[in-house]
């Protein structure tokens, strides 16, 4: 089914564990983004990618690692999860450079105990 | 820099009431403006957009006009329905980059 998907949809982990959130899009969009959504903060950009093998930091990158070996995938890894990383994570894609809309995945709700 | 400020919520309205959610922005360059909607348990969906001053975006009975003189993009709907209950985000992007800047969101609840 075409679109942008995220997995898992829900994840509970413990402090100090490594966690990887997956994002996959079928449109071959050039740009992909990771946001976290927290009450009172709206959406904050963690990392983004302009193309395969090109990534850049957003507003809140500390504690996160990304990679993009293929255009369609953009995984987000929490190397050593902390309670402050409990949040809802959204992946988004954008067709190309310029003022085009972003398309969002359904989100992953992550709880770090 | 670039930023979006939208009215604090939550907003509770009765069905068929008039809705306004205020949004103002600051931007370098020439922004495009967007309203996204997030229904419970889902990701954000584009509701409407406007790419230049005086443009009006509209969709599903919602409207917003890009006002450069007041740096505003207020969302309006003449008669809300229970199904409009959601969180609404105002956002901008500019021609100087690819990042989106989102407001903090306004939660709307419509009661029958």
Give the tens place of pLDDT for each residue, B8-23. Answer: 889 999 999 999 999 9
* DSSP helix/strand/coil, A63: coil
In chain B, the residue whose alpha carbon lies closest to the alpha carbon of A5 is B43
Q: State whether A58 and B99 contact (CB < 8 Å).
A: yes
Q: Cα A106–A110–A111 angle (5° rounding)?
A: 150
Strands (E), A1-113: 4-7, 10-13, 19-25, 31-38, 42-51, 54-57, 64-66, 76-78, 87-94, 102-104, 108-112
Nearest alpha carbon to residue A76 among A22, A39, A11, A31: A22
Taking the Cβ of residue B1 and every Cβ of chain A, the question of whether any pair is shorter than 8 Å is answered with no
**Are the CB atoms for A25 and A6 separated by under 8 Å?**
no
Over range B69-84, report the average pLDDT.
96
**Are the CB atoms for B81 and B15 separated by under 8 Å?**
yes
Could you list the pLDDT tens digit for every one of the 113 residues in chain A? Answer: 569 999 999 999 999 999 999 999 999 899 999 999 998 788 999 999 999 999 999 999 999 999 999 999 999 999 999 999 999 999 999 987 776 889 999 999 999 99
CB pairs under 8 A between A and B: 46
């Amino acid at each position: 089914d075409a679109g942008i998907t995220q997995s898992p949809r829900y994840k509970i982990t413990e402090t100090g564990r490594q966690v990887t959130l997956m994002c996959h899009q079928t449109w071959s969009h050039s740009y992909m983004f990771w946001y976290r959504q927290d009450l009172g903060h709206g959406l904050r950009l963690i990392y983004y990618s302009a193309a395969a093998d090109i990534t850049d930091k957003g507003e809140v990158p500390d504690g996160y690692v990304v990679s993009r070996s293929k255009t369609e995938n953009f995984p987000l890894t929490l190397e050593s999860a902390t309670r402050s990383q409990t949040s809802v994570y959204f992946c988004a894609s954008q067709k190309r450079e310029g003022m085009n809309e972003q398309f969002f995945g359904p989100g992953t709700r992550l709880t770090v105990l | 820099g670039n930023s979006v400020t939208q009215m604090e919520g939550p907003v509770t309205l009765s069905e068929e009431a008039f809705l306004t959610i205020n949004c103002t922005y600051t931007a370098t360059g020439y922004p495009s403006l967007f309203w996204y909607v997030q229904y419970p348990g889902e990701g954000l969906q584009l509701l409407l957009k406007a790419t230049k001053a005086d443009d009006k975006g509209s969709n599903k009975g919602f409207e917003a006009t890009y006002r450069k003189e007041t740096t505003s993009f207020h969302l309006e709907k003449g008669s809300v329905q229970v199904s409009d209950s959601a969180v609404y985000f105002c956002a901008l992007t500019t021609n100087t980059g690819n990042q989106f800047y989102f407001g903090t969101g306004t939660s709307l609840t419509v009661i029958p």
